[in-house]
Amino acid sequence: MDIAIKTEHLTKCYGGVAALDSLTLEVKKGEVLGYLGPNGAGKTTTIRLLLGLIKPTSGRAEIFGLDAAKDKVAAHRRIAYVPGEAHFWPSLTGEETLHLLGNIHGKVDQKYRSELIKRFRFDPNKKVRTYSKGNHQKIALIAAFSARADLLILDEPTSGLDPIMGQAFRECVHEAKANGQTVFLSSHVLSEVEALCDRVAILRSGTLIELGTLAEMRHLSAVTIEATFDSKPPVVKNIKGVSGLRIAGNTLTAQVHGSIAPLLEVLTPARPKSLLSREPSLEELFLSLYGEEQGVRSE
Amino acid sequence: MGSVLYYFTFRRTWRGALIWAFIFGASIAATAIGYSGLDPGARATLAATFSTNTGVMVLIGVPYHLEIVSGFTAWRTMGLLAPMATIWGLLTATRYFRGEEESGRGEFFLAGQTTPRRSAMQTLAALAAGLGLFTVITATGIWLGGRGQDSGFDLEGSVIFAITLALLAATFMAIGFFTSQLAATRRQAAAMAGVVFALFFAMRAIGSVVTDARWLLDITPFGWAQHVHPLTDNNWPWLLPLVGLTSLLVAAGLWVVGRRDMGASLIADHDTAPAHTTLLHNVWTAALRLNRGALLGWTLAFAFAGLIFGNFAKPAGTILNSSDALQHITGELGAAGTQAAAAFMGIGFFMCGVLVMVMVVGLLNALREDESSGYLDNFLVQPVRRWTLFVGRGGLVVFGLILTALMAGLTCVIASRMQQTGVDWWQIVRAALFAAAPAFFLLGLGMLLLGFRPRLMTGVLYGYIGWSFLMEMIGTLLNFNHLLLNTSILHHMALLPAAEPRWATTGLMLGVAVVMAAAGIARLNYRDIETD
Ligand SMILES: Nc1ncnc2c1ncn2[C@@H]1O[C@H](COP(=O)(O)OP(=O)(O)O)[C@@H](O)[C@H]1O
Ligand SMILES: [Mg+2]
C-alpha cells in the first residue's frame, strides 16, 4: 500500500455550517503535501479529524488504511503531530516534557533528538512556564521529528518561530522526506509551502479549490506591489497581469502575475514616493484570483 | 497605558460581583421573610434547638438573638454566606493575579509602560470597585428584604452587614493575591489559599463549639465577621481586624511584586531544575505527577483537620453530652463520655465530607480545563486508548479521596489516642472512609457531565453541593417533604463513628456513581474533544 492519508467526502459541520465540506484527498507515502488556506479555512478541522480528536459529520478518513475515527491507537502509533499552538504543562521542564512525550509515543531517536535540541537552540532545563510561544513550538517540533514517525502532521508549525528557526524547520522536513516519511504540512503562507512541498492542496471556506504540483500552481505565484504617490495614483486598470487593484488615498495596491515590467512602465513616470513589493497573503491572492464572492472583504 | 488594566479587570468582575450581590441579598431577605412568618412559640422552639445543636454551631457559628428576626437572619445567613464570599474572593484573585500571568496575557500589559506593581495595583483597584458595587447592591437587598417585617432592618445594620461580607471577600482576595505571588501556577496559588481557608474555617468551627477554645474566634476572619452581629449589635469595630489583615496582605503582596520586578533571583532559581523523570512513564503516572501539588495540599489539610477533631473530641464531647444534639446524632439518650467524643468526631468527618467534595470538583475542573486549554491533546494524539486516559484520571481522584480520608482518619486516631477518648481506632478510620462516600457520588456525576455536558460540569457540581447544603440547613428547619430532602447528598450521611454505618445507602450511592462514571467515560471515548 502506498497511500498515507485518504479522505472520502470528509465533512464536519458546526451548528449547520460546514467547517470542512466534502474533502476528498489522497496523500502518497513519502510525499510532502502543503495544505494551504487562509485563517478559518478548515485546516485545523481537517487535522483534528485525521487525528480522531473530533468525529466527522459524514465521510471518512484513513491513515495507512486504518480508520482515523475507529483505529485511533494503531493510527497514532504511526503519527507525530505538531499543533499550531502547543500547550505544555507549566510545572515540568522542557527536558521532562520531551521525556514524557517520548515515553508515551514509545519511539524516540535519542541521537537525532539531541541534534534537534542543538539545531533549534533550545534550553531544555527550564520550566515550561518560563518558555515563550516559540519555545513551546520547539518542544512540539523536537518531539515530533525525533519520533521518526511514518507520518508527520504539522498544523502551521512555524507560527511563533523566528526566521532562523524557520530555516532549521525546513531542514528537518527535508531530512524527514529523505528518510521516507510522509509530511502533511498546513500553512497560510504560500512561500513556506513552495519551498518544501511536492504537491499543494488549497482550501477555502471548507472547500478544496486547488490540488496539484507546484508546477501546476504557477498561476498562483504573484507579487503584491504597493506604491505611494504625492497625489492621485495613475490609472493602471487594463495592464496585463494586474488584478486585485485597491486604491486608498494616494496609495495603490495590486497583485501582479507574471512580469511586473508593464506595470512599472506606468508607475515610474508618475514618480512614486515609495514602491514596495512583497509576497501576497493568501487572502489577497484569492481576492485577485476569484474576486470578492463569499470571500474576504477588502476594507 | 493609563488604566487599561483597571477597566479590563473591572469589566470582567462586575458581573460576578452583581450576581453574588443579588444571590446574597435575596437569600438574606428570604430568610428574614421565612422567619417572620413563624409565631412566637415556634421561634422559641427553633431558638432553643439551634442554640444547643452542636452540628449547627460547627457549620454556622455561635447563635445569638435567635428570638428576633434580625438576629436570626444575621446569624444564619452570615454563617452560610461567609464561606461562599471567601471562596469567590480567593478564586477571583488567584485567577487575575496568577492565571493571567501564567497564560501570558500578563506579558501583554508588561510590554507597555506600566510596571508589574502598577498593574497589580490597577487590578486590585478594579477588584475593590467590584466589591464596592457588591456592597451597595447587597445592602439594598438586605434593607428592602427587612422592610415590612416585625421591626424592619435599619439602614445602618444593612450597610454594616453588606460591608462585613464584602470585607471577608476582600480578605480572601488579599490572601489569593499574596499566594499568587508565591506560587508558580494558578492551581498552586488557589490550593495554598484553599489551605488557609480550611484553617481559618476550622478555627471558627472549633471556637464556636469548644468553650475552652473560644479565643480561636478572635484570630480568624470568620470569627471577626461573626463577632460583628450586624442588624442587632452592629459591633463595627470588629471590622477593623478584617481591614488590617487585608491591608497587610496587600502591602506584603505588592512588596513581593516589586521584588520580582527588580529581578530578584529567589524566584528565578526555580525556573531551571534538573529533570526528575521517575513519574513520567505513562499517562497515569504523569497525571499523578502533574496533580501532586493539589493532592499534597489537600492531604495536609485533611491530616490537620483529623488532628484537630481528634484533639478536641474529648472536651467538646463533654458539652455534647449535656445537650440533646447527641440524641439527634446517635438516636440514644444519656451517652457515655466515649460516645460523646465519637459524636464530635462524627460532626468533624461530616465537615471533611463536605470539604472533600470541593476537592473532587477541583480535580474534575482541572481535567475539564486540561481539555479546553489543549493540554489533553498532547495525550490524545498518542497511541493511548482514550477511555483508559479518563479512567486513569478518575482513578487519580479516587486515589486522592482514599488518601485524604485515610489521612484524616489516621491523624484523628493518633490525637484520639493521646487524648484517651476511648474511641476504637478502626471505628475512626471507617468513619473517615464513609465520609468520603458522597464525594464518590459527586465524582460519578462529574464524569457523567464531562461526557455529556462538559461546559456545565463545574457549575452543576458546585450548584449541587450548594443545594445539598441548603437542603440540610433549610429543609430540616421548614419540615420539607422527604422527597426533596432526599435529593441532598448530605442527607444520606450517617455521623460515624457515633452512628451506625448505612451500608445499603452507601452501597447504592457508590453503585450509582460507578454507573454514571462508566456512562460518562463511554461517551468521552468518542465525543469531540472541545478546545477553546
Ligand atoms: N468547535 C468549533 N465550534 C464551532 N465552529 C468551529 C469550531 N472549530 C472550528 N470552527 C469553525 O470552523 C472554521 C474552520 O476553522 P479551522 O479549521 O480552525 O480553520 P484554520 O485552521 O484553517 O484556520 C472556522 O470558521 C471556525 O470558526
Ligand atoms: Mg488552524
Inter-axis angle of helices A133-146 and A110-119, to 10 degrees? 150
User: Which atom of ligand 1 is least distant from the CA of A206?
Assistant: 14
Do B161 and B142 touch, CB atoms closer than 8 A? yes
- Which chain B residues contact residue A96 at CB under 8 A? 275-277, 280
C-alpha cell, B433: 472512609
* Helix (H/G/I), strand (E/B), else coil: B334: coil
Angstroms from B234 CA to nearest CA on chain A: 47
* pTM summary value: 0.77
- Which chain A residues contact residue B382 at CB under 8 A? 76, 101, 104-105
What distance in Å separates the CA atoms of residue B10 and residue B96, rounded to the nearest whole number? Answer: 11
The pLDDT, as a whole number, for residue B305 is 83
Whether residues A87 and B374 touch (CB distance < 8 A) is answered with yes
Q: Give the other-Cβ count within 10 Å of B40's Cβ.
A: 8
Give the contacts of A188 (CB within 8 A, at least 6 positions apart).
A36, A37, A38, A39, A41, A43, A156, A281, A282
**Parallel, antiparallel, or unpaired for β A182-187 and A32-36?**
parallel
* Helix (H/G/I), strand (E/B), else coil: B272: strand
The pLDDT, as a whole number, for residue B165 is 95
Mean pLDDT highest for which of A21-30, A192-201, B47-56, B420-429?
A21-30
What distance in Å separates the CA atoms of residue B153 and residue B139, rounded to the nearest whole number? Answer: 10
Ligand lying nearest the CA atom of residue B531 = 1
Summarize pLDDT for B55-87 with one digit per residue, the tens: 677 778 888 888 888 888 898 889 888 988 998
- Determine contact: A231 vs chain B, CB below 8 A: no
Summarize pLDDT for A11-20 with one digit per residue, the tens: 999 998 999 9
Can you tell me the mean pLDDT for B329-339? 53
Expressed in angstroms and rounded, the spacing between residue A50 Cα and the centre of ligand 2 is 14
The dihedrals phi and psi of B511, each to the nearest 5 degrees, come to -60, -50
Q: Measured between alpha carbons, how far apart are the two ends of chain B, in Å? A: 28
Can you tell me the mean pLDDT for B281-307? 87
Angstroms from A165 CA to nearest CA on chain B: 22
Can you tell me the mean pLDDT for B301-322? 75
Expressed in angstroms and rounded, the spacing between residue A42 Cα and the centre of ligand 1 is 6
What distance in Å separates the CA atoms of residue B146 and residue B160, rounded to the nearest whole number? Answer: 14
Summarize pLDDT for B417-429 with one digit per residue, the tens: 888 888 899 999 9
User: Which atom of ligand 1 is least distant from the CA of A45?
Assistant: 17
Sequence length of chain A is 299
Protein residue with least CA distance to atom 18, ligand 1: A44
- Determine contact: B375 vs chain A, CB below 8 A: yes
- Which chain B residues contact residue A99 at CB under 8 A? 275, 277, 280
Whether residues A88 and B283 touch (CB distance < 8 A) is answered with no
Opening angle at CA B117, ends B116 and B123, nearest 5: 90
Whether residues A127 and B375 touch (CB distance < 8 A) is answered with no
DSSP result, B442-471: HHHHHHHHHHH-GGGHHHHHHHHHHHHHHI
- Which chain B residues contact residue A126 at CB under 8 A? 271-272
Where do the domains of chain A lie? 3-217, 222-279
Counting other chains too, the contacts that B22-25 makes at CB distance below 8 Å and 24 or more residues apart are B22/B137, B22/B141, B24/B77, B24/B81, B24/B84, B24/B85, B24/B138, B24/B141, B24/B165, B25/B137, B25/B138, B25/B140, B25/B141, B25/B142, B25/B144, B25/B145
pLDDT-derived band at B122, boundaries 50, 70, 90: confident
Summarize pLDDT for A129-176 with one digit per residue, the tens: 888 889 999 999 999 999 999 999 999 998 888 888 889 999 999 999
Going by C-alpha positions, the residue among B105, B102, B108, B43 that lies closest to residue B70 is B43
What distance in Å separates the CA atoms of residue A228 and residue A215, rounded to the nearest whole number? Answer: 33
Can you tell me the mean pLDDT for B150-168? 88
Give the contacts of A245 (CB within 8 A, at least 6 positions apart).
A236, A237, A252, A253, A254
- Determine contact: B272 vs chain A, CB below 8 A: yes
Can you tell me the mean pLDDT for B161-176? 96
**Which residue of A43, A45, A51, A186 sits with most ligand 1 atoms within 8 Å of its CB, as the best mutation to test the pocket?**
A45
Summarize pLDDT for A77-135 with one digit per residue, the tens: 999 999 999 999 988 999 999 999 999 998 899 999 999 999 999 999 998 888 888 99
Do A45 and A54 touch, CB atoms closer than 8 A? yes
Tell me, which fold does domain A3-217 have in CATH? Answer: Rossmann fold (3.40.50)
The pLDDT, as a whole number, for residue B475 is 61
Model confidence at B291: pLDDT above 70: yes
Angstroms from A98 CA to nearest CA on chain B: 10
Expressed in angstroms and rounded, the spacing between residue A137 Cα and the centre of ligand 2 is 14
Q: Output B109 or B222, whichever has higher pLDDT.
A: B222
Expressed in angstroms and rounded, the spacing between residue A205 Cα and the centre of ligand 1 is 10
- Enumerate residues with CB within 5 Å of ligand 2 (an ion): A 44, 84
Whether residues B273 and A74 touch (CB distance < 8 A) is answered with no
- Determine contact: B102 vs chain A, CB below 8 A: yes
The pLDDT, as a whole number, for residue B268 is 42
The pLDDT, as a whole number, for residue B103 is 55
Whether residues B290 and A106 touch (CB distance < 8 A) is answered with no
The pLDDT, as a whole number, for residue B319 is 60
Size of interface A-B (CB pairs under 8 A): 97
Protein residue with least CA distance to atom 25, ligand 1: A40
User: Which atom of ligand 1 is least distant from the CA of A42?
Assistant: 17
- Determine contact: A33 vs chain B, CB below 8 A: no
Tell whether the torsion through CA atoms of B490, B391, B191 and B163 is positive or negative. negative
The dihedrals phi and psi of A147, each to the nearest 5 degrees, come to -75, -15
User: A222-279: which CATH architecture?
Assistant: 2-Layer Sandwich (3.30)
Distances (CA, A) of B210 to B58, B75, B202, B217, B409: 10, 18, 12, 11, 21
Expressed in angstroms and rounded, the spacing between residue A284 Cα and the centre of ligand 1 is 21
Model confidence at B10: pLDDT above 70: yes
Do A223 and A278 touch, CB atoms closer than 8 A? yes
What distance in Å separates the CA atoms of residue B76 and residue B63, rounded to the nearest whole number? Answer: 8
Mean pLDDT highest for which of B12-16, B142-146, B336-340?
B142-146
Expressed in angstroms and rounded, the spacing between residue A73 Cα and the centre of ligand 2 is 24
Ligand lying nearest the CA atom of residue B532 = 1
Name which of B185, B379, B381 is nearest A90 (Cβ-Cβ): B185
Around ligand 1, the residues with Cβ closer than 6 Å are A 14, 19, 37, 39-45
In terms of C-beta density within 10 A (0-12 exposed, 13-18 middle, 19 or more buried), how is residue B141 classed? buried
pLDDT-derived band at B128, boundaries 50, 70, 90: very high
Ligand lying nearest the CA atom of residue A45 = 1
Q: Give the other-Cβ count within 10 Å of A45's Cβ.
A: 22
Protein residue with least CA distance to atom 20, ligand 1: A40
B157-196 core/surface letters (b: 16 or more CB in 10 A; e: else): bbbbbbbbbbbbbbbbbbbbbbbbbebbbbbbbbbbbbbb
C-alpha cell, B38: 413563624
The pLDDT, as a whole number, for residue B262 is 39
What distance in Å separates the CA atoms of residue B358 and residue B306, rounded to the nearest whole number? Answer: 17
pLDDT-derived band at B37, boundaries 50, 70, 90: confident
DSSP result, chain A: --EEEEEEEEEEEETTEEEEEEEEEEEETT-EEEEE--TTSSHHHHHHHHTTSS--SEEEEEETTEETTT-HHHHHTTEEEE-SS----TTSBHHHHHHHHHHHH----HHHHHHHHHHTT--TTBBGGG--HHHHHHHHHHHHHHTT-SEEEEESTTTT--HHHHHHHHHHHHHHHHTT-EEEEEES-HHHHHHH-SEEEEEETTEEEEEEETGGGGGG-EEEEEEE-SSSPPP-TT-TTEEEEEEETTEEEEEEES-SHHHHHHHGGG--SEEEEEPPPHHHHHHHHH-STTS----
pLDDT-derived band at B127, boundaries 50, 70, 90: very high
Residue of B nearest to A96 (CA): B275
C-alpha cell, B130: 467590584
- Determine contact: A129 vs chain B, CB below 8 A: yes
Going by C-alpha positions, the residue among B398, B392, B389, B423 that lies closest to residue B309 is B423
Angstroms from B529 CA to nearest CA on chain A: 6
Residue of B nearest to A52 (CA): B381
Residue B353 CA, chain-centre distance (Å), reads 11
**Parallel, antiparallel, or unpaired for β A17-28 and A151-155?**
unpaired
Model confidence at B331: pLDDT above 50: no
Write down the residue that cell numbers 422567619 correspond to: B35
Model confidence at A289: pLDDT above 80: no
Mutation target among A81, A96, A142 for the B interface, most CBs of B within 10 A: A96
Question: What integer best gives the mean pLDDT of chain B?
Answer: 83
- Which chain A residues contact residue B276 at CB under 8 A? 96
Opening angle at CA A200, ends A195 and A206, nearest 5: 130
pLDDT-derived band at A296, boundaries 50, 70, 90: very low
Summarize pLDDT for A213-272 with one digit per residue, the tens: 877 776 777 888 899 999 888 888 788 888 888 888 899 988 888 888 888 888 888 889
Expressed in angstroms and rounded, the spacing between residue A29 Cα and the centre of ligand 1 is 28
Name which of A55, A103, A104 is nearest B528 (Cβ-Cβ): A55
